[in-house]
Amino acid sequence: MKAVDLRIYGRVQGVSFRAWALEHARSLGVKGWVRNHPDMSVLAHLEGDADAVDKLVDQLHDGPRAARVDRVIAVPTEAKGMDGFEIRAP
């Protein structure tokens, strides 16, 4: 089990980034959440199989086609026992 908190900077709001992250997380079996932050970044909490989490983190460096990811900050954290993956309100 691996868990990580992310902050993603760039053109990541208004480009379906959260929906894209939700789809990719669910396809990999990663649990957690994603949400917009008022500073125009996106926050995420990911947990699950280490290989799946690492793969999703790599994918989040690119994001959907309309996005432009400038920087991703990843901080290891404790798993929270999430049941699924969801989009949360800011």
Residue 84 forms part of a structural domain: no
Instruction: Locate 32 and state its tokens.
Output: 């957690």
**Which of these is catalytic: 11, 26, 36, 88?**
36
Would you tell me how many other CB atoms lie within 10 Å of the CB of residue 38?
A: 7
Beta pairing partners, 7: 43, 73
Give residues with Cβ within 8 angstroms of 14, minimum separation 6.
none
**Which of these is catalytic: 18, 35, 68, 71?**
18
Domain that holds residue 73: 2-79
What type of residue sits at position 68?
R
Give yes or no: 18 in active site.
yes
pLDDT tens sequence across 50-60: 999 999 999 99
Give how many domains the chain has, as a whole number: 1
**In this structure, what CATH number is given to the domain that contains residue 69?**
3.30.70.100
Residue 6 forms part of a structural domain: yes
pLDDT tens sequence across 7-39: 999 999 999 999 999 999 999 999 999 999 999
Give yes or no: 65 in active site.
no
